Structures are given as C-alpha cells and as structure tokens.
C-alpha cells in the first residue's frame, strides 16, 4: 500500500495535505496560562511546522500542542489499511507525545499515545 502523507508543509496556509487545518492549543482551554503558536519554517532546507510557546504550570496547566484533525467535520479517517505512523521531528531534547483519537475515545482527554524525545539534530 502507498504511504499516506498527512502533510509535507509546502503550503503556508496551515491546511494539511488532507485538507484539514493545523492549530495550536494550550492549557488555556482548561484554565491554564501556557501560550502556544505554530508557524511554517524552513529548517536545513526542509519545510516544517514549528511549534513554540511558553509552558506554565500555574492553574494546573502545563501543555502546548499542535493539533490536526485527520478527517474533516468530525468524521473519522478510514485508516484500517495502514500499519503505523511515521514522524520526522526535531526538538530541544525534551520529551514529546503524539496522541491519536478514534471513535473509541469518548472523553476529551482519552487518546492512544506514544512518547518520544525530540533531539536537535
């Protein structure tokens, strides 16, 4: 099966190859005071989505994220033919996570998660 490319970041309008929009999200959705932003950048000749922000622990906060729905309008992406997810990341040697939600995740905080360290080069 051919790989499905979620985004190659060659457009700078925050619309993925799937037609859905990248967003920045922070703990402000639950009363925190962290600040997040996403931007398109070219790093080492490669286009990328750059997540940055200020993570604050006050008010029980402590997260920022880049979020993307994989299917439009709340529908579910048919992904049964795929066997995994591949990410190309670069970071500041801190731990990050990728969260995937399915219809089985009924609560907003539920997801399937994988943690990784994003190293600088």
Q: Are residues 43 and 97 in the same domain?
A: no
Q: Are residues 52 and 108 in the same domain?
A: no
For the chain, the domain total comes to 2
Q: Are residues 63 and 90 in the same domain?
A: no
Q: Are residues 58 and 20 in the same domain?
A: yes
Task: Give pLDDT tens digits for 25-66.
Answer: 999 988 999 999 999 999 999 999 999 999 999 998 899 999
Q: Are residues 99 and 53 in the same domain?
A: no
Q: Which positions ≥6 away from 88 have C-beta within 8 Å? A: none
Q: Are residues 69 and 33 in the same domain?
A: yes
What pLDDT does 1 receive? 44
Q: Are residues 69 and 89 in the same domain?
A: no
Q: Are residues 43 and 99 in the same domain?
A: no
- Cβ-in-10-Å burial (0-12, 13-18, 19+) of 19 comes to exposed
From 20, 7, 11, select the one nearest 72 (Cα to Cα): 20
C-beta separation of 63 from 34 below 8 A: yes
Side-chain-side CA neighbours of residue 17 (13 Å): 9
Q: Are residues 7 and 41 in the same domain?
A: yes
What pLDDT does 5 receive? 87
Residue range of the domain that includes 99: 85-121
What pLDDT does 2 receive? 57
Is 79 among the domain residues?
Answer: no
Is 80 among the domain residues?
Answer: no
Q: Are residues 69 and 20 in the same domain?
A: yes
Task: Retrieve residue 47's tokens.
Answer: 């286009």
Task: Give pLDDT tens digits for 71-118.
Answer: 988 788 888 888 888 899 999 999 999 999 988 998 988 999 999 999
């Amino acid at each position: 099966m051919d790989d499905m490319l979620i985004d190659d970041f060659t457009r700078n309008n925050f619309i993925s190859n799937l037609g859905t929009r990248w967003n920045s999200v922070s703990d402000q959705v639950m009363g925190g005071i962290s600040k997040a932003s996403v931007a398109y950048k070219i790093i080492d000749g490669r286009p990328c989505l750059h997540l940055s922000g200020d993570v604050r622990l006050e008010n029980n906060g402590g997260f920022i994220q880049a979020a993307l729905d994989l299917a439009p309008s709340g529908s579910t992406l048919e992904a049964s033919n795929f066997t995994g997810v591949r990410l190309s990341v670069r970071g500041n040697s801190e731990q990050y996570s990728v969260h995937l939600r399915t219809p089985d995740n009924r609560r907003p905080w539920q997801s399937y998660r994988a943690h990784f360290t994003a190293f600088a080069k």
